[in-house]
Amino acid sequence: MKKWYRIIIVALFSFCSYSSIAQTNCTVPDSPVLNSVSIQPETGITELKWTLSPSSGIAAYIIYTFQNGDGMPVDTLWDPGITSFTYISKAPFSLSYVVSVLRLPDCESVLSNPISTIFCSSEIDTCTKEIFIRWNSYPDYPKRVLEYNILVYKNEAPLPEMYSVNPQANNFTFTDFETNSRYCFVIRAVLEGGTFSNSNKICLTTKMQRPPQWINSDYATITPDNKISLSYTIDPLSEINRFWLEKKIGSIGSFQKVAELVSDNGQIKYIDNQADINFINYYRLSAVNNCTIPLAVSNLSSNIVLSLNRTGNDINLTWNPYKYWSGTLSAYKLFVNTGDGYTEKAVLQDQDTAFTIGYSEIMYQLTGNEVCFFITALEAGNPYGIAGESRSPEKCTSITENITVPNLFTPDGDLLNDLFKPILSFIPKDYHLIISDRSGKVVFETKDEASAWNGSMNGDTLPQGVYLWFLKVTGQTGKSISKTGTITIFRNR
């Protein structure tokens, strides 16, 4: 190309030298009219079209690029009847062209009207899923621009849809595209008279971060130190690993962001150290793209709040239902700790939110100074193969150390009320029972809480009457209890 430019410059220099020597008079010919400049999208070749100069004696047409009022010659066409020219340009911007005519020996017309190529550029915003297309305006002379068409190609095939904008526009936003596809765009200026001018063809690949198709909230459960532990499992095909954890307290109000988290192999685990476990806390996890726009959100999770109260001999437990698993709530399990660790007490229905246990059912199992409970909720049928489990906080009540002593029994062998024994609501650490007659003579003594008096002494039946008893026990709380009273022997036969 540089060699060709040198030839043109030498030729022009020769013309100028000849003119200065010969002093030939020159009648300047009329300029041609440049009608259109268009780019062939598939090849990138620029095509110029013009009308012939009305002047006679035309020997050649000279093609220039034009910038800031100056022309730089591109080619000289030694054909007086030619009306078009193709040119390959690699310039990554719009180029302006003009044409002149040459009458021998050295008379050149002034430059024609300039026309610039339409140069199209595009960029993708993966955050808003938009492709922005921009171009420079095509001139309204010699043919007026009626509108601009945006031609779209997907994976090299033209789309049937035609997008149009008014002639004053120089940009367009394309949103109807699929990810991981190649899209190309050409801008076409539709001109009056049925002609048009095309821009370059600009292409890009709609490579975007693949958001997760699902985020599963595995559980919101209470830890042994009364914190709320959260777990999430994320679509393994997701290309996003940034997440926002949001929370609200109670069923009303709005969610607030409490943490920005990064997934680890499709898992996120988080401990909410600030949560008040006496209230229901709702949580959700959102996948966030590079522009901090949430794209996918998990199902909700919430903690179980367990309450305990006692009415008479009953221990009443109530709790809020666990909601919003991707699967279904299959059951609740009740666990009890009577002093030797937790054991499963009962399996409850999924619709249950209350359970009552009689103190008498567990009082002989008590070995500590309190009895404690917790509830677990179990998930079934999760579509992602995850079996969620959520535990409530532990609720405890102190052991009731009640002692009940009858004041009459009938040891007559009829198997009804034949034995005397204090009734304890707990298993004592120490136990000592002494029974004596009115004179103070000990007739029965034991340190075994399971042992009962049958109304005899050394195998001899004692007479009816009133006897004295003394009881001293140490409860599971370490409290020492002493009681005295009377017991009457009454024989029916």
Q: DSSP readout, 187-198?
A: EEEEETTS-EEE
DSSP 8-state secondary structure symbol assigned to residue 18: H
Mean pLDDT of 124-145: 92
pLDDT at 180: 86
Element (H, E) at 343: strand 342-348
pLDDT at 3 over 50: no
pLDDT at 472 over 60: yes
488 vs 179, residue with greater confidence: 488
Which pairing describes strands 408-409 and 480-489: parallel, antiparallel, or unpaired? parallel
pLDDT band at 493 (very low <50, low <70, confident <90, very high): low
Tracing tokens 């002692």 back to the chain, one arrives at 403
Exposed/middle/buried for residue 325 (C-beta within 10 Å: 0-12, 13-18, 19+)? buried
pLDDT at 473: 92
pLDDT at 485 over 70: yes
CB atoms within 10 A of CB 463: 8
412 vs 401, residue with greater confidence: 412
Mean pLDDT of 108-137: 94
pLDDT tens digits for 349-408?
Answer: 999 999 999 887 887 788 878 899 999 999 999 999 999 999 999 999 987 777 889 999
Hey, CA dihedral for 451, 457, 461, 465, is it positive or negative? negative
pLDDT band at 11 (very low <50, low <70, confident <90, very high): very low
**Cis peptide bond N-terminal to 41, omega within 30:** no
Cα of first residue to Cα of last residue in the chain, in angstroms, is 138
In the chain, pLDDT over 90 holds for what percent of residues?
A: 75
pLDDT at 14 over 90: no
Mean pLDDT of 154-164: 93
pLDDT at 21: 37
Mean pLDDT of 130-150: 97
278 vs 14, residue with greater confidence: 278
pLDDT tens digits for 165-182?
Answer: 999 999 999 998 988 899
Distances (CA, A) of 313 to 299, 319, 328, 355, 406: 41, 20, 35, 14, 19
pLDDT at 16: 40
Mean pLDDT of 447-453: 92
pLDDT band at 428 (very low <50, low <70, confident <90, very high): confident
Domains of the chain (ranges; CATH) run 2-116 (2.60.40.10), 120-205 (2.60.40.10), 215-302 (2.60.40.10), 306-398 (2.60.40.10), 403-489 (2.60.40.1220)
Mean pLDDT of 11-21: 39
pLDDT at 24: 52
pLDDT at 234: 97
Mean pLDDT of 74-78: 96
pLDDT at 233 over 70: yes
Q: How far apart are CA 395 and CA 334, in angstroms?
A: 12
Q: Average per-residue pLDDT in the chain?
A: 90
Q: In degrees, to the nearest 5, what angle opens at C-alpha 295 toward C-alphas 202 and 285? A: 155
Q: How far apart are CA 456 and CA 420, in angstroms?
A: 11
In the chain, pLDDT over 70 holds for what percent of residues?
A: 95
pLDDT at 365: 82
